[in-house]
Structure 1
Amino acid sequence: MVEVPESLPARMYLLAYDLRRRRMSSGGARLGYVLRAAALTELYLDGRLGEERRRPVLGTPGDDPYGVLAQIAASRPRSWQHWVRKDARAVEASVRDELVRGGWIRVHSRRVLGVFPRREVAVKDPRVVKSLWGGASSALRGRPVAHVNSYDAAAVALAAAGGLTTVLPRRDRRRHRRRIAELTARTGPAAPAVMKVIRQKKAAAASG
């Protein structure tokens, strides 16, 4: 059996890798939102975060690998959307560095046209991505939602919310809409918050 990263954000980062093109999919800021939501979801599933009045609240004390609990503890009550947006770029860099340290990926920096900096990511073992994809794919089919691995369910919910076509092509999102909704309901409020953030961003861009 292929070993995969333990953290949900690390798994979502690898799931955003396009094996066919051998590069990260062009998700723009959406990937940062997905990774922040993955961090929130992991805390929620483990009981380190709860919810009151549709806002995250601290739950059982525990590890805080991305500093999300500390941010929430130091703030007045805010929406899930706020915490999905906050430091989205920073968490992307943190997760990427975590995967480099763990030996999951290589990162090569170069300059496009000799001027613009660009990072190129390469997954060391494609079987890891295939294994994660297989888990997410199986979550869409077969066993009852209650029996699906919680991280596989979260991967589907987050991929659908963030539009990660490496995991869920548009046709699959349409075909499995009801199943995705059931998996999303199981994994907590962070995934729906990603969808709201992206919609708000698109609306602001259209009006601006």
Structure 2
Amino acid sequence: MPYGSLSLPTRIFLLAWDTGRNKIAGAPDLHLAVRACALAELAQRGLVSDVDGVVTPVLGARTGDAALDSVLELIEESRPRKWRGSITHRARDTQAAVRDQLVSGGYLRAERTRVFGIFPSRRYELERAGYVEVLHAEALAVLRGPVPVSEVSEGDAALVVCAATGKLRGVVSGKDRRQYEERLDALTDRSGASSPELPELMRGLRKALASAVSSAEAARSSGGGGGG
């Protein structure tokens, strides 16, 4: 996975990394944002569409990217789901697949460790902090300008919208979400600029991600967890 070839889900996973603390921080629902980015990229590639609110794949289509293809396979093999269900259903599987890709690509390093000195586990450390810092700077430039929305790539627009909606606080603060709400609306439409039906699909995906995150937050507040 050379620089410049990272998928949207791998890029948002890296965006959640705090380079100073060398760990993911401020992103309790990262798995939902990762899955939303995977769906966004598949939609932009024309491999999933919205049919009466149901996420519908192009049967047998594959991208060659293991994480994206696993999402396509899951959609094909599962019962029909709307966008929110497609975001939440086994979302942590997609996050794990993305993390493994980043280890294989040399962006992360996996170290074997033991919890309480007994239970085997793995700890992940960032190998390319400079690259992540560039990602952060680029994401903030997309969010805040001064580049016109019309000049932002569809992928970058989707990435920033998912980071904001998924509440990756290390990337987009609550203040930023409020201050740049209109620009985020414009970026949502921009993320679907390649075909007439995509802007509405992307708006639906963003709404579904916001709903999934709100439910996860409510579950944590009530002590019910927030897994997907």
1:178 aligns to 2:182 (yes or no): yes
Contact 2:161 2:187 in 1 (8 A): yes
Residue type of the alignment partner of 2:106: G
Q: Normalised by the size of structure 1, how large is the TM-score? A: 0.87
Aligned with residue 141 of structure 2, among 138, 142, 152: 138
1:1-208 mapped onto 2 (5 Å cutoff): 3-28=3-28, 30-59=29-58, 61-63=61-63, 65-66=66-67, 67-114=70-117, 119-140=122-143, 141-187=145-191, 188=202, 189-204=204-219
Residue type of the alignment partner of 2:46: G
Gaps of 5+ in 1: none
Identity rate, percent: 34
In the comparison of the two structures, how many residue pairs are matched? 206
CA RMSD of aligned residues (A): 2.3
Q: Normalised by the size of structure 2, how large is the TM-score? A: 0.80
CA apart distance, 1:122 = 1.9
Taking structure 1 as reference, are residues 192 and 101 closer, same or farther at Cα in structure 2, changes over 3 Å only?
same
Gaps of 5+ in 2: 192-201
CA apart distance, 1:84 = 0.6
Distance in 1 of aligned mates of 2:37 and 2:169? 17
Taking structure 1 as reference, are residues 116 and 151 closer, same or farther at Cα in structure 2, changes over 3 Å only?
farther
Distance in 2 of aligned mates of 1:146 and 1:134? 19
CA apart distance, 1:126 = 1.4
- Identify the range of structure 1 (44-53 vs 189-198) with the bigger mean alpha-carbon deviation: 189-198
CA apart distance, 1:129 = 0.6
Residue type of the alignment partner of 2:7: S
